Structure 1
Amino acid sequence: MVDSVPCHRDPARIADRLPFLLRRNLVLRGIRAFFDARGYVEVETPCAVPTPGEEVHLKVFRTERETVDGARQPLWLHTSPEFAMKRIVAATGLPVYQLARVWRNAEGSRLHAHEFTMLEWYRPGATLASLMDETEALLRAVLPPVVRVGGDMIGIAPAFERLSVADAFHRYAGVDILATGDDAPALARAAGCALRHGETWEDLFFRLMMARVEPHIGRTCPTFLTHWPASQAALARRDPADPRVALRFELYAGGIELANAFEELTDSTEQRQRFIADRARRQASYPHEAGLDWPMDEAFLAALDGLPPCAGIALGFDRLVMLAAGTGRIADVQWLGEG
């Protein structure tokens, strides 16, 4: 029998990427110094949880807890520590951060791994704008002034671009995205493209995003893509000035999505309604997949009404190290990467 990744290859594989791995350690130390200096508390939360998250399209890893008396409870490896971290903020009012191991099944590419490290932080009193300021400061603290991604030279020192989703679609796709609502045929007509069989508004939105918007942003400096359509609000508040959009941003650099951030929703009733809608969409999208009926995270929902106004962000730590190290493969910056 031939081992698919023989252990005798480990020394050579690790030696080949040792410069990248040492840079990983430098970035790790820089992150901790950055947050410690700003008064954040580093926390740790469980990885195996009763509810792994409610993102519709993320696939999860299932496990099981067995007690000393033989009772068994299904658990899942979390896709993000978000729910647990917000419970801590609600209980303490403290700004917190975590470098968490997270798991997402059915993923794998030069930018994706089944297991990776997520940097998340939550700050009471922060707004979307102040969180963008802080994110810029973090990247300047841990990255060189210029990073190379493929053929792009991306400046980290200048101010990052801040571009709303509506402005990005108008500029690069010629579409008034907010005017299309949830009407997939209307969006297809506006974009001048054919609607595929069974394609929803959300499906077409992301097809256009990947084909027409993402190739143009974050190429000379990182870009914050802000104010997403309300249907993509997830756990974010709607914008009081325009309820068609959510107070959410994603950060891009050189075609790589680095981070996803929200000005956090603190209304448990609205959040429950969103979760119920997400569950219905997940069951409709993946009707043949068993084991998706985990319980609602009641502890999170109970804590939500006590969550102070705050903003939070999830940033792919491995992808950040890729930028710092100048490599295009996530496996290069993981000690025993999959690839």
Structure 2
Amino acid sequence: MQTSAPWWAPEIHTRRRPALLARQRIAGAIRRLFEDADFLEVETAILQVSPGNETHLHAFRTELVRLDMAREPLYLHTSPEFACKKLLAAGEPRLFTFARVFRNRERSALHHPEFTMLEWYRAGESYERLMDDCALVLHSAADAVETDVLVHRGRSADPRLAPERLSVSAAFACHAGIDLEAVLPADGDNGAARDAFATIAMAGGLRVAPDDGWSDIFSRVISERVEPKLGLGRATILYDYPISEAALARPKPTDPRFAERFELYACGVELANAFGELTDPEEQRARFDHDMAEKQRIYGERYPIDEDFLAALAVMPAASGAALGLDRLVMLATGTDRIEDVLWTPLP
């Protein structure tokens, strides 16, 4: 039972409308930014045979009913990534999309079950080039709404300053007092690494459950100790994640313990996630199988693997790609606290 006025009530819409108009201007500015850089805007299908195979992402399921009444499961995608990479395999060198994506079990001030993801890909270019793109996106968004500051819950960042670049290992040392490299899993040593990590995390005041794996502890350190310190004053690019925390990213050639992955933060809020893309289909299959086994262990379910995607990886060129939450960027550019305030028609 709804206890407050709905979003469509005229007085509520009047309050929300300035942020919604800002959203339109920001999206338009970003579109021009990519078009001027010779990117092609594409539209990807929302229904997919697999919604993605990351352990902690949850999808909405539906069914395709054929004329013979045979039924096949389909999913609303959690990201347009698989489709975009198939277009890279088809020969598109630079592409971007504003995709409506869907994630179940996610509802908070920063999460909504349906939201808009900006994704873009560069064939034959490094993931460091995407760091430069992220800075330009922030600058364009600020120009579109004529603001000099991004704001969220008392934290602020200057969108025109070059983002700080901080490795994950340095962030753990600086903000959590943890030597991450000392507890990285090694082949055949995952249990010992997990236990050592748990001991250090608990000594630092973090809660660790008996069934938490290494990745669970890593995520808790990131969310409770590191994220709140990122993107203050200016944006932060957090780069070089442990290879276990980068499901679709390629290993760093100079240190395969880490992956070519970075995340963009502003005001303590994660805005974007980027990869130097993995193009080895057998390695990708092994990672999917591992993550789906974890999903089965934790949640009692798993999603199918998109065999067509793995086939496309075999011919996809070396590339880098990024995904940015448009709604969160609009929130920070307009100083709003809840994601519903920048969605035209949010769920009640």
TM-score normalised to the size of structure 1? 0.94
CA contact (8 A) 2:59 2:78 kept: yes
Q: Percent identity?
A: 46
Matched, 1:179 2:182: yes
Deviation at 1:10, TM superposition (A): 3.2
Q: Distance in 1 between matches of 2:133 and 2:153?
A: 26
- Residue number among 212, 216, 237 corresponding to 2:225 in the alignment: 212
- Asked if the contact 1:178/1:244 (under 8 Å) is kept, the reply is no
Counterparts of 1:61-72 in structure 2, within 5 Å, are 61-72=60-71
C-alpha contact (below 8 Å) 1:14/1:335 kept by paired residues: no
- Are 1:242 and 2:274 an aligned pair? no
Q: Is the 8 A contact 1:97 1:120 kept in 2?
A: yes
Displacement of 1:8 in angstroms is 9.2
Asked if 2 retains the 8 angstrom alpha-carbon contact of 1:166 and 1:178, the reply is yes
Question: For the residues of structure 1 that align with 2:109 and 2:312, how far apart are their CA atoms?
Answer: 37
Q: After the TM superposition, which of the residue ranges 151-160 and 249-258 deviates more from structure 2?
A: 151-160
User: For 1:91 and 1:139, how far apart are their aligned partners in 2?
Assistant: 30
Q: CA deviation at 1:195?
A: 3.9
Which residue does the alignment assign to 2:264?
251
Q: How many angstroms does 1:189 deviate by?
A: 3.1
| Partner AA of 2:163 in structure 1 | F
Structure 2 CA distance for partners of 1:7 and 1:99, relative to 1, 3 Å: same
Which among 322, 328, 338 is matched to residue 329 of structure 1?
Answer: 338
Aligned partner of 1:127 in structure 2 is: 126
Equivalent residue number for residue 162 of structure 2: 159
What is the Cα deviation at residue 279 of structure 1? 1.2
Runs of 5+ in structure 2 lacking a partner? 186-192
Mapped to 2, the partners of 1:266 and 1:254 lie a distance apart of: 33
Deviations 1:68-106 (Å, cap 9, x if unpaired)? Answer: 443322111000010010000111132110100000001
Tell me the matched-pair count. 334
What is the match of residue 110 of structure 2?
A: 111
Q: 1:9 to 1:265 in 2, by over 3 A?
A: closer
Which of 290, 293, 307 pairs up with 2:316?
307
**Over residues 45-79 of structure 1, what are the superposed CA-to-partner deviations in whole Å (9 max), with x where a residue is unaligned?**
11111111001111110111223443322111000
C-alpha displacement of 1:188: 2.9
236 and 8 in structure 1: CA distance in 2 versus 1, 3 angstrom threshold: closer
RMSD, aligned α-carbons: 1.8
Q: What is the one-letter code of the residue matched to 1:235?
A: L
- The match for 1:92 is 91
Separation (CA, whole Å) in 2 of partners of 1:100 and 1:216: 29
Amino acid at match of 2:197: L
1:146 corresponds to which residue? 149
The Cα offsets for residues 148-170 of structure 1, whole Å up to 9 and x where unpaired, read as 22222311111100000000001
Equivalent of 2:215 in 185, 202, 211: 202
Cα–Cα, structure 1 residues 254 and 71, in superposed 2: closer, same or farther, change >3 Å?
same
Rounded to whole Å, the distance in 2 between the matches of 1:318 and 1:61 is: 20
| 1:274 paired residue among 287, 294, 297 | 287
Cα 1:4/1:265, change in 2 over 3 Å: same
Moved more, 187-196 or 259-268: 187-196
Encode CA deviations 1:242-299: one digit per residue, 9 max, x unaligned.
Answer: 1110000011111111011000011111111111111111111112x4xx343x2111
Q: Select the residue among 222, 246, 253 that pairs with 1:233.
A: 246
1:30-109 equivalences under 5 Å are: 30-109=29-108
| Deviation at residue 7 of structure 1 after TM alignment | 6.7
Structure 2 residue corresponding to 1:262, chosen from 254, 275, 288: 275
Query: Which amino acid is 2:181 matched to?
Result: L
- 1:117-137 residue CA offsets vs partner (Å, 9 max, x unmatched): 000011112212111011111
**Contact 1:48/1:77 (8 A) holds in 2:** yes
Contact persistence 1:93–1:308 (CA under 8 A): no
Instruction: Label 1:8 to 1:77 Cα distance change in 2 as closer, same or farther (>3 A).
Output: closer
Greater displacement, 10-19 / 161-170: 10-19
The verdict on how the C-alpha distance between 1:3 and 1:185 changes in structure 2, with shifts beyond 3 A counting, is closer
Deviations along 1:213-268, one digit per CA (max 9) or x if unpaired, are 11211111110000001111210010010111000001111111101100001111
Structure-2 separation of matches of 1:304 and 1:293: 19
Structure 2 equivalent of residue 24 of structure 1: 23
Q: Which moved more, 1:301-310 or 1:10-19?
A: 10-19
Q: Displacement of 1:32 after TM fit?
A: 1.0
Distance 1:162 1:10, change over 3 A: same
Matched, 1:224 2:224: no
Partners of 2:50 and 2:303 within 8 A in 1: no
